[in-house]
Amino acid sequence: MANMRFHIRFPEEKIKEPIIYQIGHEFRVVTNVRRADVRETTGWMDIELTGDTAEIERAVEGLKTKGVLVDPIELNVVG
């Protein structure tokens, strides 16, 4: 099982969509919001994804496909 953290940013038109919920159901990963600031026109989250490394990579691609900007956070812990 791997744990990886990502900083994600939502464009204004994606703020109200349940994207984190969707990722948790579409992929075999556990989502954990570590920090967030979501407002009416802007939003970001630091999230932790837990699961097989390949499935986490698929989930990250899923986030990108949904229009979310994704950056890895330094000090990802894999193990």
Report the percent of the chain where pLDDT is more than 70. Answer: 94
What is the pLDDT confidence band of residue 9, given thresholds at 50, 70 and 90?
very high
Note the pTM of the prediction, 2 decimals. 0.88
pLDDT at 78 over 80: no
Q: What are the pLDDT digits (tens) for 28-52?
A: 999 999 999 999 899 999 999 999 9
CA distances from 64 to 1, 30, 79 (A): 22, 17, 24
**pLDDT for 74:** 74
pLDDT at 72 over 50: yes
Domain 2-78 = CATH 3.30.70.260:
yes
